[in-house]
Every structure is written in C-alpha cells, then in structure tokens.
Amino acid sequence: MTASSHRTAQALKARSQRTEASLLRIKSVVDQLAKNGGLITVAAVARQADVSRTFLYEHTEARNIVTEATLRARGLRAQTDQAQRDAVEASWRERALNAEEALKNTNAEVANQRERIGELLGQIAALQGEWTDADVVRITTVNVALQREVRALTTERDRLTKRLAAARDNARFADKRIAALEAQIAEQLTAPRT
C-alpha cells in the first residue's frame, strides 16, 4: 500500500466517520423535533444538526430520515387535527342536543301557559257574561251603602268603647268610694262611745 493510497483510505475513513456523525445528529434532531411537536423541515434539521441542506438533499440516507420524519409528523398532525375536529364536533353535537332539549321543554311550557291563559280568559268571560249592567250598578250602589254603614258602625263602636272605658273608670271610683265609706262605718261601729 502506497502512502497516497493510505492517505486516501484515511480520508475516506474520516469522511465516512463525519457522515455517520452527521447522520446521528440528524436522527437526534429529527427525534427531538418530533418529540417537541416542532415543524420538521430541511432547513430546520440542517440548522440544528449543523449540516448543509445540500448534504440532506444529496445523501440518500439523510434524505430518507428527514422524509420519513416529515411524513410521520404529518400523520400525527393529521391524527391530532382529526381528533381535535372530532372533539369540536362532539362538543357542538352535545350543545345541539342540549339546545334541542331546552327548546322542547320551552315549547311544552309555552303550551301549558297558553292553556292556563285560555282557562283564565274563559273564567273572565263566564264572570262577565253572568252580570248585566243593571246588576253591576246595583252591586256598586249596595257596596257604597255598605261601606257607609261600616264607617258609621265603626264610629259608633269607637264612641261606645270610650263610654265603656269611662263607665269602668266610674265603677272603679265608686267601688273605691264605697270601700272607703264601708271602712269608715266599720270604724265608727267599732269605736267606743263616749
């Protein structure tokens, strides 16, 4: 083996080692980007793995690593996007069902209220149908007369209540006066006569 062939072999070996190291860095960067959810592009991988874009495009194994990672990331993103769309759709479906149930309950309540209003309007119509204008005038007149009589009786009750209170006061005074006179008479009867 000549010196030049030996140098060539060493250069090829060094180049092979640099290529292997670059491939390991590329795999590491791709794995890190995939793990972190970062966007896997040739520019991002080249920058972080400290290799040239040309290396990534021209070296078959490096290009395959990036391509496969990009496809996996797209697949994961597509699955994630689909899962998010499914979650949003399920949420809207749930909201729609809740709104539908609320609308059904509201319609039932409106129907019940309308039925109750109809019953009350029927009762009002029945009451209005039973009374003629003459009946209303007569009832109003009787009501006014009864109110006057109530006022007069209230006044009379108040006057009689005052008279009763005064009569009770007089009776108490008379009882005290009688008791005092009885005591005086009893004293005179029991006193010695001179």
- As averages over each run of 10 residues, the pLDDT of the chain (194 residues) reads 75 82 85 78 81 81 83 68 74 82 88 88 75 83 92 92 92 92 87 70
Q: How many CA atoms lie within 13 A of 84 on its CB side?
A: 6
Name the nearest CA neighbour of 48 among 58, 35, 71, 60: 35
Q: What is the pLDDT of residue 77?
A: 62
Q: What is the pLDDT of residue 78?
A: 59
Q: What is the pLDDT of residue 80?
A: 64
Q: What is the pLDDT of residue 180?
A: 92
Whole-prediction pTM: 0.36
